[in-house]
Amino acid sequence: MNRVAESTELRENAQLVIEVLSEKEDIQLDFSADSVSWLDTYIEEHRAQLNERDKSLLQEKFGAFFGESIRHNYGGRWVKGSGDRWMIVFDEDHHMSPFEIIGEHLDHHIELTEVFEHLPDHIQARQN
């Protein structure tokens, strides 16, 4: 499988999250900041009930959704980094791993919404 096909799969996984959760939770999700905030709360409310298998699956799906939300709002592109990990790359010096951030959020509470909202500040600070 080539990288283009693989990044297409990431976009499809992100769309699957929107479709499944929108129907299951009776909410209309998209790649907006409001949807990221909703996912933040959703993970917080369900974390205690998740086993390791659930977390692994959700990290894969929610990581794709979070990454696509970043791309839709802040730009960047999917690139496979070291260890075959997918990252969003903004330029040569600025990148992030949505899958690792979701993994941290599934294991411990981190403010997913805050990470998302402050991403432009973080990128701009590193450029100066």
Q: Phi and psi dihedrals of 78, rounded to 5?
A: -75, 130
Task: Report pLDDT for 5.
Answer: 53
- Could you read off the pLDDT of 69-107 as tens digits, one per residue? 999 999 999 999 877 889 999 988 888 999 999 999 999
Contacts of 50 (CB under 8 A, 6+ apart): 58, 106
Provide the H-helix boundaries in 81-127: 98-107, 112-117, 119-127
Element spanning 88, H or E: strand 86-91
- pTM assigned to the model: 0.89
Domains of the chain: 3-127 (1.20.120)
Has residue 4 got a pLDDT over 90?
no
Task: Report pLDDT for 124.
Answer: 61
**C-beta separation of 67 from 86 below 8 A:** yes
Structure tokens at 13: 């996984």
CA distance 127 to 122: 9
